[in-house]
């Protein structure tokens, strides 16, 4: 690899969607920037995730592709549920669903957070991931109060890996409840890994940890089998949530 220059590399929009530079050539600063350009077609997005790469950019920027080192991950069997969160789960303040309102979840995740002027979940990103949802690779978890959406998350599933993208919460603990329900379901389906991308105190409190990119890529080789993909619309198993009541 020593004869190849460091990134970022240019991707042609009409180029081979399977072609990405080796993630080891990503920049150290900004951490993980690997490539610029390309498009957000389903084929390119799925190939990116399979290679440990994801898009992240703001309005007015070209598409930026990242593979940070270290990588933040959570192993489903290592999920941490604090005493206060377990108390919330027992109260069951929300009705939790899978794949019921993907477009509403990604739109809610795109809303600027306190202290932020804009969002990285652009209209182009929303359209691209909604397309992935329609073909059965992108999924959402929703927390409801009656018919009001108050929290949730979305991400991409390949093989036995769930690549988390974003979450939102309009009620205390709503996004954490969504994450716990999802993780318990993924555990039941035999998933081995949840990609959390970068460090977040919110996810560390639930058991996320940082691992070297090299280890992450090796685990994708183990868990990201395209022939073992849980594709299609998801539903929770009836038992999910019963252990907290």
Helix (H, G, I), strand (E, B) or coil at 73: strand
pLDDT at residue 80, rounded to an integer: 97
Architecture of the structural domain at 72-244: 3-Layer(aba) Sandwich (3.40)
Q: Where in the chain is the domain with CATH 3.30.70.3550?
A: 9-68
Helix (H, G, I), strand (E, B) or coil at 167: strand
User: Along the chain (245 residues), what's the average pLDDT of each consecutive run of 10 residues?
Assistant: 69 94 95 96 97 94 96 98 96 96 97 68 96 97 98 97 97 97 96 95 95 98 86 92 69
Q: Does domain 9-68 have CATH number 3.40.50.300?
A: no
Q: Are 66 and 53 in contact (CB under 8 A)?
A: yes
CA distance 243 to 245: 6
Write out the residue limits of the CATH 3.40.630.70 domain(s) in the chain: 72-244
pLDDT score of 116: 57
Q: So what's the pLDDT on residue 59?
A: 85
* Strands laid side by side in the 64-66 sheet: 9-11, 33-37, 64-66, 54-55
Residue 11 is inside which H or E element, if any? strand 9-11
Q: 99-117: string of b/e by CB count within 10 Å (b at 16+)? A: bbbbeebbbbbbeeeeeee
pLDDT at 245: 58
Q: How far apart are CA 72 and CA 21, in angstroms?
A: 21
Per the structure block, which two tokens stand in for 183? 């993780």
Token reading at 89: 């789960």
What pLDDT was estimated at residue 228?
79
Specify the pLDDT at position 117: 54
pLDDT of amino acid 120: 83
Q: Can you give the pLDDT at residue 1?
A: 45
């Amino acid at each position: 690899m020593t004869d190849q220059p460091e990134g970022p590399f240019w991707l042609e929009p009409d180029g081979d969607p399977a072609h990405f530079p080796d993630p080891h050539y990503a920049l150290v600063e900004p951490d993980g920037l690997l490539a610029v350009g390309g498009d957000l077609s389903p084929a390119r997005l799925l190939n990116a995730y399979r290679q440990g790469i994801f898009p992240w950019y703001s309005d007015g920027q070209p598409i930026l592709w990242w593979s940070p080192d270290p990588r933040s991950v959570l192993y489903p069997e290592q999920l941490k549920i604090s005493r206060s969160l377990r108390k919330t789960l027992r109260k069951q303040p929300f009705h939790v669903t899978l794949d019921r309102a993907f477009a509403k979840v990604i739109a809610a995740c795109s809303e600027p957070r306190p202290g932020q002027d804009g969002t990285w979940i652009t209209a182009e990103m929303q359209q691209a991931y909604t397309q992935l949802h329609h073909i059965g690779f992108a999924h959402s978890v929703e927390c409801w109060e009656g018919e009001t959406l108050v929290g949730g998350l979305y991400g991409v599933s390949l093989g036995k890996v769930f690549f988390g993208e974003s979450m939102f919460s309009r009620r205390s603990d709503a996004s954490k409840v969504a994450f716990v329900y999802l993780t318990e379901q993924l555990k039941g389906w035999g998933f081995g890994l949840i990609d959390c991308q970068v460090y977040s105190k919110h996810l560390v409190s639930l058991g996320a940890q940082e691992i070297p990119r090299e280890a992450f890529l090796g685990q994708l080789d183990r868990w990201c089998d395209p022939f073992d993909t849980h594709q299609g619309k998801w539903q929770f198993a009836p038992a999910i949530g019963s252990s907290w009541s």
